[in-house]
């Protein structure tokens, strides 16, 4: 990997360093700074009095997704809240993931939010389900999708606002669904109700990341120098 000045942006170096820290130091907390809401179509009043609809998440591989974006500084996802609920008496399971965004559609899983959760813990009517203390480090200024699915036998619902762009917000219309074969924009294409909070990594984490960049750069230089010496030795 080439670290010579100008060949790699500082942000990219820090992303590599953070990734290395997470792998090399299990349990490292990179999300202790104050949380900032980077997406919110859940808070009462944001939808300007619009009505709600329900997106059905059905068995057979059906998934429902809602797009969101990280910011240049807030990209450690700490908490996610959704307005989801089950059918009465259901004990089925469901999962929540974060997918990357390729060409405006979900492509592949980049982070697990919650796997094989029991629907028995959900309400039978519209209510908020929250997942906290996540510490999921994504990329800065990048588009993603939050995806819900994985039901086996009983459908569940994810509420959405019945308008393409809720009044008073800049929330884009990025709802999509997966029918088991293809991702497509939903017929209504309205924003699903969710809230996502992220944070800036602590200064101490950035310091560790800087040290990691320096170590990686030094290792790369040593390897390059050794390769040159090996070539000279064979001449």
In terms of residue numbers, what domain contains 196? 31-200
Helix (H) or strand (E) holding 203: helix 203-234
DSSP code, position 12: H
CB contact set of 20 (below 8 Å; sequence gap of 6+): 212, 216
Domain harbouring 140, CATH code:
2.60.120
What's the pTM? Answer: 0.69
d(CA 1, CA 217): 8
| Residue 222 included in any domain | no
**Could you read off the pLDDT of 66-103 as tens digits, one per residue?**
888 898 888 999 999 999 999 888 889 999 999 998 88
Considering only 2-6, 51-55, 120-124, 166-170, which range has the smallest mean pLDDT?
A: 2-6
| Residue 129 included in any domain | yes
| Residue 217 included in any domain | no
More confident site: 57 or 117: 117
Provide the number of structural domains found in the chain. 1
Whether 112 shows a pLDDT value over 90: the answer reads yes
| Residue 4 included in any domain | no
| Residue 47 included in any domain | yes
More confident site: 9 or 44: 44
| Residue 190 included in any domain | yes
DSSP 18-32: HHHHHHHSTT-----
List C-alpha distances in Å: 132 to 70, 77, 96, 129, 142: 17, 9, 13, 10, 21
Structure tokens at 25: 């130091």
d(CA 80, CA 144): 14
Whether 182 shows a pLDDT value over 60: the answer reads yes
More confident site: 165 or 65: 65
List C-alpha distances in Å: 69 to 95, 127, 134, 164, 223: 21, 24, 17, 17, 38
Residue linked to tokens 């492509």: 107
| Residue 154 included in any domain | yes
d(CA 156, CA 159): 10
Distance of CA 25 to the CA centre of its chain: 21
| Residue 124 included in any domain | yes
- Burial label for 49, CB within 10 Å (0-12, 13-18, 19+), is exposed
pLDDT of residue 160: 81
């Amino acid at each position: 990997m080439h670290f010579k000045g100008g060949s790699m942006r500082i942000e990219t170096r820090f992303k590599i360093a953070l990734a290395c820290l997470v792998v090399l130091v299990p349990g490292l907390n990179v999300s202790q700074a104050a949380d900032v809401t980077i997406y919110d179509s859940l808070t009462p009043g944001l939808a300007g009095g619009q009505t709600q609809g329900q997106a059905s998440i059905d068995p057979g591989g059906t998934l429902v997704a809602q797009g969101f974006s990280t910011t240049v500084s807030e990209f450690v996802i700490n908490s996610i809240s959704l307005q989801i609920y089950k059918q009465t008496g259901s004990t089925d399971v469901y999962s929540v993931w974060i997918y990357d965004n390729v060409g405006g559609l979900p492509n592949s899983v980049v982070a697990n939010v919650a796997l094989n959760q029991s629907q028995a813990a959900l309400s039978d009517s519209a209510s908020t389900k929250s997942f906290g203390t996540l510490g999921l480090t994504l990329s800065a200024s990048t588009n993603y999708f939050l995806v819900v699915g994985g039901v086996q036998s009983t459908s569940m619902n994810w509420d959405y606002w019945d308008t393409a762009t809720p009044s008073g917000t800049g929330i884009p219309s990025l709802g999509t669904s997966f029918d088991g074969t293809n991702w497509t924009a939903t017929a209504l294409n309205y924003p699903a109700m969710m809230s996502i909070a992220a944070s800036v990594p602590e200064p101490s984490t950035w310091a560790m990341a800087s040290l990691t960049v320096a170590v990686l750069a030094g290792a790369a230089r040593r390897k390059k120098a050794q390769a040159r010496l090996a070539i000279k030795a064979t001449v």
